[in-house]
A and B are shown apart, each in its own frame.
Chain A
């Protein structure tokens, strides 16, 4: 503040440079890796989406330049556009819309999963003996290898003329005469995946987040409400739920972002159904994977990935803008 002017004019700049030099050794390893393997790839993905880049054995940079064409927004038109076919409007990429539909359909289990996590957290928040054992058990699917989990579920949902999986065996013992062929049915494959996801996620991250939230609710609030004669339901409705609304906001946001990506469902579709029957369980992630890895069309795959990104981003913005209003900050 009241310091005498420094005789050297560039003090500010050199101090800044010094600060940088001090921070650099700490920052550099991570920042470099972050730039190369996280930040620049995001930009590169958008760049890729404007090309017809295909993975092929290209030996030199010149060959690469010659073999890759800039197509501008061509990929986006091919992906999102519509054209007229005999007077009818048809999507250029019918499959994309279908798989987007699948992705959204498979997210229908989210409200159930979140509500289930909330209820489980309420149950787990009691001082009961052996409660940690339950917590551990509920969390098992989350830490288990998704591949192993999917293989088991494939076996559980199995249905062949002479081979009956666990679930259908159970249903038949309950008196259901012809339980569905879950993974082989256009109608039932998606519900089967939803059930499986529910099993895998209900006691997972969201439940732990709710539990942490519950433990942060001041006990005095409940005591005061009880003195005022509030019943259990009223306490839940007017204390627990509003106090947990930041958690709910976070959980909903993250769940939908995760739902769009659907990494568990990718594993499930990849291992259990191959995306079938007839594309019924193909999600956008699998579609991107197929274009990139199976069909070597990285440019188009990047286009779909960018659209996915924009959808996630748009959703997050909307959620931030409007969802926040429902959040009650104590």
Chain B
């Protein structure tokens, strides 16, 4: 190839790269805007939250104390160094007193209102988070079988979410890995038929399964319990499927060698298959944990006692009581969202791989 052509190609590649970055950033920004707006609103004072025009940085008009009264500070347009305190407005304009520069301080003037611009100062209302956390509307009278009483709602929601998610995750990974071991590494009559039954349910809309289970739990008076939140979600067909696919890829020779040495099936499962399946187990763990943490419909159906609510339905309840207090709503949303994002950042690799894995077999 001739030199000019390669140079042209390099140039084109660079242009393509720049365009890619531009596009990626534009989309990325769009993705982030709602989150940024959430954080921004969560740090505003109630009046500022609904203020128009919209401001990204939470700020408030700067005020000074003059003769025992609170006055707004303004800037006179055209006189950059001048700061004035607004005393009062009248039809002729605004009566102001100069507060800086020092040389003119104390001087009173009459300025057209249009010449004044309110001075604002950034002010982040971190206390919104405390207020949301302690919100009266979600105060729990008694929780955890009477162990605690009169506690902040979000503390209870957090603990409930942690309890439920951890139990569901451990239960799913444990039972799924055992069953997946049987499906992938053992031979027994009817194995493939049973597995097909598992596969078939993957396509069934979740609500079809939820309704009868809900009816059963209601009839047994078991709604509003941790059992209802945890037990029915613990036997994931998806988890069994995912792990089986992975277990199938582990070479048979390793197992055969162990069996020759007299290893029991459980020993093979525990000391060969599980250690070799760490990536798949990590994937399933992240998947199940995040799913359980964010699950909305099932907890919504089986729990209506405040003391048993998990974070998503707790937040929904909070929204019911604080419909218009956007600064608190946003603070509560941030409170709910942050731990998930941390878990995601930590387990991102496994999470993404899990999606790819499940897609490959489709």
Contact = CB atoms under 8 A, between A and B. Distances in A.
B219 A20 contact: no
A30 B179 contact: yes
Interface string B305-341: 0000001110110010000001001100110110011
B222 interface: no
B262 to A, nearest CB: 15
Given A27-B179, A30-B179, A136 B235 contact: no
Interface in B39-89: 41, 50, 52-54
B203 A257 contact: yes
A131 B25 CA distance: 10
A123 B23 contact: yes
B212 A45 contact: yes
A163 B218 CA distance: 43
Nearest to A38: B201
Given A145-B336, A147-B319, A309-B204, 16 more contacts: A31-B194, A44-B215, A45-B209, A123-B24, A124-B24, A128-B17, A143-B351, A144-B341, A145-B315, A147-B296, A147-B336, A155-B38, A156-B37, A261-B207, A292-B301, A305-B211
B3 to A, nearest CB: 19
A254 B355 contact: no
B186 interface: yes
B165 interface: no
Interface in B342-362: 344-345, 348, 351-352, 355-356, 359-360, 362
B54 A169 contact: yes
B27 A203 contact: yes
B27 A45 contact: no
A100 interface: no
A48 B337 contact: no
Interface in B231-246: 231-235, 237, 240
Interface string B123-137: 000000000000000
Given A39-B201, A169-B53, A288 B186 contact: no
A53 B31 contact: no
Contacts of A208: 352, 355-356
A34 B202 CA distance: 12
A128 B52 contact: no
11 contacts: A19-B189, A23-B188, A26-B269, A37-B213, A126-B20, A147-B336, A153-B34, A163-B50, A163-B52, A199-B34, A305-B207
Interface of A: 16, 19-20, 22-23, 25-27, 29-34, 37-42, 44-45, 48, 53, 55, 58, 64, 120, 123-124, 126, 128, 131, 134-141, 143-149, 151-153, 155-156, 162-164, 166, 169, 199, 202-203, 205, 208-209, 211-213, 247, 250-251, 253-254, 257, 260-261, 263, 266-267, 270-271, 285, 288-289, 292-293, 298, 301-302, 305-306, 308-309, 312-313, 316
Contact of A309 (B53, B205, B233): B205
Chain A contact residues: helix, strand, loop or mixed: helix
A135 B349 CA distance: 11
Contact of A42 (B209, B215, B313): B209
A263 B297 contact: yes
Contact of A136 (B189, B194, B293, B348): B348
Nearest to A260: B205
A116 to B, nearest CB: 9
Contacts of B209: 37-38, 41-42, 45
A29 B330 CA distance: 42
B20 A128 contact: yes
A26 B189 contact: no
Contacts of B279: none
A292 B300 CA distance: 12
B34 A152 contact: yes
Nearest to A138: B31
Contacts of A30: 175-176, 178-179, 235, 240
Nearest to A31: B179
Sort A-B residue pairs by CB-CB distance and give the 5 closest, nearest first: A33-B235, A212-B356, A30-B179, A44-B212, A148-B333
